[in-house]
Structure 1
Amino acid sequence: MTATAPAAVTTRGLTKRYGSHTALHGIDLDIARGSVFGVIGPNGAGKTTTMRLLLDIIRPSGGEVRVLGEDPRTGGAALRRRIGYLPGELHLASRVRGRELLAHYAEISGRVRPGVVDALAGRLGLDLGRPVRSLSKGNKQKLGLIQAFMHEPELLVLDEPTSGLDPLVQQEFLAMLREAKEHGQTVFLSSHVLSEVQQAADEVAILRAGHIVELATVARLRETAVRRVRVVVGEPDAAALRATLDRLPGVTGVRDVADRVGAAAFEAQLDAHVDTFVKAIGLHEVIDLTIQEPDLEQSVLGFYNEAEVVR
């Protein structure tokens, strides 16, 4: 019987305190190998603190952590060579050219296959012959991405990786994430932009003030997110439809909206009860029906607000 490989990242009760301030409150994570795991939250939520603890840049105040099966505090350089890291605050003020800086990083991170650096630079649209200090924020970010990806590490830890990138480069980055997953690499990605995470991640942790307020797959978040709906019926059926909407589970905020002569329209918000909703309004003579994509941004804001109430 083949033994199951340990998770790429495991934490139990991971805590970090700075004096009287607690930055992380007992975080529990299990990140499967070969998956893309996203952490989202506002500034100060604890995303960067979590990543620095995984990399032994800072030490925990309590709890346990394992990265690629090892304790980061004892894994040393050998463990770090198995990881690609892009910090959220990237400082590259070097006088050398991009290619020379990457060669320096390669001496630290380990073997880089021939052609990989040039291929990544081509995909991201970066001129490696320019001095690093002359690069724009976006081009420095591209250089940071190349150094994280170039040695094809088992684990990629990426803190706000698309900061400063234009939309076309962001899409190329997402393609790089998909390819990394296909190759069996694990990605731990942080962002405060939900749309970025939902396009790439298998699972998402929503972090607020050092607490995980929700841990779910992107599919599950989509199922529970609020949708906006609009139903149009003939005026003779308006009262009956309004009565139906008012009693349906998961339907809130029903309101009449103006429509063409001879028809009535209602707008409302709908949660996960889509099947019940469609079957119920199907008993009426519906002229038009619109169900918008789930509003994940509002759903996540709801988790933030609930966390504030709890504390």
Structure 2
Amino acid sequence: MSLTSAYQHKLAEKLTILNDRGQGVLIRMYNIKKTCSDPKSKPPFLLEKSMESSLKYINKKFPNIDVRNSTQHLGPVHREKAEIIRFLTNYYQSFVDVMEFRDHVYELLNTIDACQCHFDINLNFDFTRSYLDLIVTYTSVILLLSRIEDRRVLIGMYNCAHEMLHGHSDPSFARLGQMVLEYDQPLKKLTEEFGPHTKAVSEALLSLHFLFVRRNQGAEQWRSAQLLSLISTPPAMINPANSDTMACEYLSVEIMERWIIIGFLLCSGCLNSNSQCQKLWKLCLQGSLYITLIREDVLQVHKVTEDLFSSWKG
């Protein structure tokens, strides 16, 4: 990658901005999921007996809901349309923000590929870290979105009320509805999206190999190498410790595991073609049964991997 390309496209700045924005969107998806899973905090329309037939109809027909010719099914929505708009606007806009975040991530990942950026955690630490963080954040947002059971109803009901009130659908609804359908099987769709980015992602992950392997050495290896011994080399006792990759020394194993697991799940093609990728992946699978997406929401690593890979058989 030429310096001109890097400065011209402001890739590092865009990665920083999108990571910050992604965290905000992720927290909102978490809050919506949390709110809708608790009957005490759930939007009241989803619990009203009179709305049952409307909710079933919206869920069944989503996103192709014929508002004008469905008065029999959508009568309760029509009666409370103003209240529905008022109550569901924040939910709907949060879903729109997910769609816009996805668009910006697409654009940036494609630009990075076009510029042929080189990722190496030991050489350009901040740039590589931001790139891997964005992939994990984006994946977490999509997984959280797919775990919101009422997502179709929330989006569909808002749009029905909007069309009844204004005479036309919300401008974002068509694309938003399509996006929600696409991510019914989120990891399958994500692997399709990240196919073109396999080279850049695998390059960034492989740069972690030495660091991750060293961090995962057993106690016997540490003892034999006298890593924690203060008196193994007496003449060097007063010499300050130094490292050519100091920033890497502060990377937690948990963060690296998250990068490696999610990165290779999305770009699993390189596991067959590159033995180094496979070794790193296997070592990482020995570490944890779960990786954290946000707070108590986790990814069951082995189950998800087995389900995803099994779906490709034949």
Higher strand share: 1
TM range, smaller chain: under 0.3
Higher helix share: 2
TM-score (norm 1): 0.23
